Structure 1
């Protein structure tokens, strides 16, 4: 048996006393903290339920947000007004890709055989060459601004805005409805927003059918891209008339042009390129012109789209009745000046007014100075624009009170 000295016994007693006091203080503190009336009650059963309820509330909030976004997505199929805040949020979060911060990756910078075929437009496509020269003349001395290109294809081929971005430091928005064409756009690393959607032919967002064209032979990359570039909204009379390849319908989300500008806070625009294969009249007629400021427009438009004509001649959506033939006044030559009117009257019968046939420019017609649509020119003039250039269905309008004009 081990015998302890009185000194050792006293030391052990003191240590036991200290341990006991420490345990006692810990237990008292723990009881205080775990009492419901205590200020620090955070580990009680009630507190656990409170934390669980907070977590559940947060999950419900996330679920409600997702459900609301899905509801807006459904509403965006049509109709949802162009300036609806929910629509603008949906557009920016789900349908707009941000500008790239990577170096550009363009066919322009390559010299292999495929790139040479791809870049043939820079020396052979007169329409692109003419527009490029116009943009250099108008904007070479101007500060960077915002552009919009509707019908952007893959972001490089016959792009009207690539010069503004690369040489002048602009940014903007590229819109392309064809999913296969758009698939090549992100890899170009353009310094602009982009969207695989289409411009709505009305003032509401809607889901529409887009008819893209599959080339019958894609060995010639430039020719294949030209075929795909003729895609158009179903029901819209396209200049190509669907003769360029095999038609493939796809469903595409469409937004009014004004919605894109609001979503990007860019209602002041330096340049808009509108090449939408026949839907330009509907897009422009529904644009709230008093809420946007565009300096220069490039619009591809053919007289085969009678939207502007209908706007002026059939303002209520009802076809205007034909003008009855006028009876020639006594002593006149059938209502026409000179003998030409009399000759027409003799050929067609008394009182019948014969008009010369209307000349229409089609894609295959080689008369680029003809085919100007006076109704489009009138419409843009009423909106404050002057026609700067016209060539083969391509119109350049400049805002009359702008510094450039």
Structure 2
């Protein structure tokens, strides 16, 4: 019978020990790297199956998460529980608990240029006056600002949060603008995403605009504020800068409200550069309670007109060609772009100097014609251009038009306490006093 020499036995024994030590070291290293926090985890017969089950569960969770992200690019509906969980966990940042860090509080030259909107941007000034009038004596509520930019520049909601103690949500799709938002330390939820122009979540292309040439900080922010969803007819028609497309995740407005358990909202600012019609048409109005809306909307966006008039639209078709709004004769010509609320002569030309009252045409021989001047830089009347289809849509949803000026609409819920206090006769071309 063959037998090993002592030397060979010793050598084999050493190799066994070496193999065992190498194997043990490998297992310890493996468990160290794969255990949470990098702590050593000892694998025993008692916990072997348990650890395997945990890893299988974790891996399965990762697979489900990936599938959920894929679904968020397409078919998940606005109230889908998985979509709401994804939105809350991945796309919503919590309010800051740090002191505010605003340009408003600084006195530098850069801050002065940044804050020029507070004295020069008539749209922001007008809306700010309206909000002070409507909400200064009201208890704090919840706001939503879609098109929040960097969280401060021409923000419609900063006053509500800073001066009146409101909570809210800020949504901005432009990644460059949003990058500055967390540093403002707003006491509001925020999301670098966009409002979906449908009732389901989807991945879309957002077109940002990079300023061309040297611009100051206010000019740069103003150019970037014109970003819009690709395929949407925006008010500026993409002429404010160099277009840069980026992918962005979009969620329905209703999904944000459900995720934050905030379906009762005091104020919504909707400034989304042309997508407002689709967003409002797909909102489940019977499941939300919103008191005041500020909506920026231009007559060039015909979404609300299609909603009421197109034969294949959502509503009943017109009874015959040349009719609309329930079959009544149109008072406007088909090609009219400015959407006058009443019968109104074309005011594309500049107004005559010194015209303070209604005045007859003085083009008779021998009369002196007053020199003309440009009343508005853009050569249009801010009281014109109102979309009666939007007004009708909001009226059917239970709202009164409180103010209209240069594409900015303020609607108040008709049966609200705020409307009882402030609504008078629904505005037509004129608007209520703000002082």
Is the 8 Å Cα contact of residues 300 and 337 (structure 2) preserved in structure 1?
no
Give CA-to-partner distance per residue, 1:215-255, whole Å, 9 cap, x none: 01353111111100000000000000000000000000000
User: What SS is found at the alignment partner of 1:259?
Assistant: helix
Give me the whole-angstrom Cα distance separating, in 2, the residues matched to 1:271 and 1:325. Answer: 38
What is the aligned partner in structure 2 of residue 399 from structure 1?
A: 413
User: 1-side partners of 2:98 and 2:321: how far apart?
Assistant: 65
User: SS state of the match for residue 142, structure 1?
Assistant: coil
Residues 1:67 and 2:63 are matched in the alignment: yes
Q: Does 1:372 align with 2:386?
A: yes
Whose helix fraction is larger, Structure 1's or Structure 2's? 1
Within 5 Å, give how 1:271-282 maps onto structure 2.
271-282=267-278
Aligned-pair CA distance for 1:107: 0.4
Change (3 A) 1:253 1:68: same
Quote the Cα distance in structure 2 between the aligned partners of 1:239 and 1:68. 40
Q: Which string of whole-angstrom CA distances, capped at 9 and with x for unpartnered residues, describes residues 105-130 of structure 1?
A: 00001111111110000000000000
Pick one of 147, 158, 182 that aligns with 1:151: 147
Q: Does 1:94 find its partner at 2:90?
A: yes
Q: Which residue of 1 aligns with 2:107?
A: 111
Shift of 1:87: 0.3
CA gap of 1:247–1:354, structure 2 versus 1, over 3 A, is closer
Contact 2:304 2:393 in 1 (8 A): yes
Residues 114 and 153 in structure 2, CA contact (< 8 A), matched pair in contact too: yes
Give, in whole Å, the separation in 2 of the partners of 1:324 and 1:169. 53
Say how many residue pairs are matched.
334
Cα deviation digits, residues 68-104 of structure 1 (max 9, x gap):
1111111000121000000000000000000000001
Q: C-alpha separation between the residues in 2 aligned to 1:50 and 1:212? A: 57
Hey, what's the Cα distance between the residues in 1 that align with 2:200 and 2:294? 23
Could you tell me which residue of structure 1 aligns to residue 15 of structure 2?
none
TM-score normalised by length of structure 1 = 0.79
Greater Cα radius of gyration, structure 1 or 2: 1
Q: Equivalent residue for 1:268? A: 264
The answer on whether the counterparts of 2:228 and 2:234 sit within 8 Å (CA) in structure 1 is yes
Q: Which residue of 1 aligns with 2:236?
A: 240
In the alignment, what sits opposite 2:425?
Answer: none
Q: How does 1:267-306 map to 2 (within 5 A)?
A: 267-306=263-302
- CA shift, 1:67, in A, is 1.5
Q: 1:206 to 1:384 in 2, by over 3 A?
A: same
* CA deviation after TM superposition for structure 1 residue 314, in Å: 1.9
Counterpart of 2:338 (choices 325, 335, 360) is 360
Q: State the TM-score, normalizing by the size of structure 2.
A: 0.73
Specify whether residues 373 and 355 from structure 1 end up closer, same or farther in structure 2 by C-alpha distance, changes over 3 A only: closer
Written as runs of structure 1 = structure 2, the 5 A alignment for 1:107-256 is 107-256=103-252
How far, CA to CA, are the matches of 2:96 and 2:85 in structure 1?
21
Q: Is the 8 A contact 2:278 2:303 kept in 1?
A: yes
